[in-house]
Amino acid sequence: MAQEAAIAHLTVLGTRAVERLTTVAGDARRGPAVRAAALRALTAIGDLRGLDVALQSINDKDATVAIAAVELARLFLSSKRGVAAVDRLAAAALDRQRGLPLRVAAIRALTDLEASSVGPLFDTLRNDPAAEIAALANVSRDREPHPDPDGVLDAALEGTLPEDPSLLRPALARAAPDLPLAQLHRLIERLRAQEEDAEPPARRAEWMVARAAAHVALANRGSRLAVYDLRETLEQATGTLPVEFLAALTAIGDASCLGAIAAAYAKSAGATRGRDDWWRRHLAAAFRAIAARHRMTRRHAVIKNIQRRWGALVEPLIG
Same domain, 241 and 199: no
The distance from CA 182 to its chain's CA centroid, rounded to whole angstroms, is 22
- For the chain, the domain total comes to 3
State the Cα–Cα distance between residues 87 and 117, nearest whole angstrom. 11
218 and 267 together in one domain: no
- The three-class DSSP label of residue 96 is coil
Answer yes or no: is 280 within a domain.
yes
Classify residue 269: in a domain, yes or no: yes
Mean predicted lDDT score pLDDT of the chain: 86
Q: What pLDDT is stored for residue 59 in this prediction?
A: 95
CB contact at 8 A, 148 and 188:
no
Q: Which residues neighbour 234 within 8 Å (Cβ) at sequence distance 6 or greater?
A: 241, 245, 249, 257, 260, 261, 263, 264
Q: Are 3 and 285 in contact (CB under 8 A)?
A: no
Q: Which of 68, 93, 112 is the last residue of a domain?
A: 112
Based on the fold, state whether residues 238 and 197 are members of the same structural domain.
no
Cβ atoms of 217 and 186 closer than 8 Å: no
CB atoms near residue 129 (< 10 Å):
7
Residues 247, 313 share a domain: yes
Nearest Cα to Cα of residue 302 among 251, 263, 247, 267: 263
Whether 167 and 183 share a structural domain: yes
Out of 60-64, 79-83, 275-279, least confident range: 275-279
> Who has greater pLDDT, 103 or 137?
103
Phi, psi of 247 (to 5 degrees): -60, -45
Distance in angstroms (rounded) separating the CA atoms of residues 181 and 106: 34
**One domain, residues 170 and 239:** no
In this structure, what CATH number is given to the domain that contains residue 19?
1.25.10
Q: What pLDDT does residue 148 have?
A: 63
Report the alpha-carbon distance of residue 60 to residue 103 in Å, rounded: 13
Render pLDDT for 125-136 as a digit per residue (tens, 0 to 9).
988 998 889 888
Write the pLDDT tens digit of every residue in 134-149.
888 887 655 555 556 6
Task: Return the number of other C-beta atoms located less than 10 Å from residue 180's C-beta.
Answer: 9
Q: Which domain holds residue 299?
A: 227-319
Residues 110-124 pLDDT 10s: 887 877 778 889 889
Confidence (pLDDT) at 274: 44
The share of the chain scoring above pLDDT 90, in percent, equals 45
Write the pLDDT tens digit of every residue in 265-317.
998 876 544 445 778 888 888 899 899 999 999 899 999 999 999 998 888 88
Task: Tell whether 136 is covered by a domain.
Answer: no
Please give the DSSP secondary-structure letter assigned to residue 129.
S
pLDDT given at position 272: 47
In a domain, residue 102? The reply is yes
pLDDT of residue 318: 81
- What is the pLDDT confidence band of residue 1, given thresholds at 50, 70 and 90? very low
Last residue of a domain, one of 156, 190, 225: 225
pLDDT at 264 over 60: yes
In this prediction, residue 207 carries a pLDDT of: 93
pLDDT band at 21 (very low <50, low <70, confident <90, very high): very high
Residues 10 and 108 in one domain: yes
Ordered DSSP codes for 161-212: --S-GGGHHHHHHHHGGGS-HHHHHHHHHHHHHHHHH-SSHHHHHHHHHHHH
| 155 and 199 housed in the same domain | yes
Residues 250 and 319 in one domain: yes
Domain-embedded: residue 200: yes
Q: Rounded to two decimals, what is the model's pTM?
A: 0.65
Question: Residue 95 burial by CB count (10 A; 0-12/13-18/19+): exposed, middle or buried?
Answer: middle
Domain finish residue from 112, 131, 158: 112
User: What is the C-alpha separation between 4 and 233, in angstroms, rounded?
Assistant: 21
Whether residue 121 is contained in a domain is answered as no
CB 317 within 8 A of CB 302: no
DSSP structural state of residue 93? H
- Whether 221 and 231 map to the same domain: the answer is no
Using CA atoms, how far apart are residues 319 and 316, in angstroms rounded to an integer? 5
303 and 245 assigned to the same domain: yes
Closest to 205 (Cα-Cα) out of 218, 214, 196: 196
Helix (H) or strand (E) holding 87: helix 82-94
- Does any domain span residue 289? yes
pLDDT, tens digit (0-9, with 9 covering 90-100), for 210-254: 999 899 889 888 899 999 999 999 999 988 888 789 888 988 999
Claim to verify: residue 219 and residue 266 sit in the same structural domain: no
Q: Does 271 map to a domain?
A: yes
Query: Mean of the pLDDT values across residues 59-66?
Result: 93
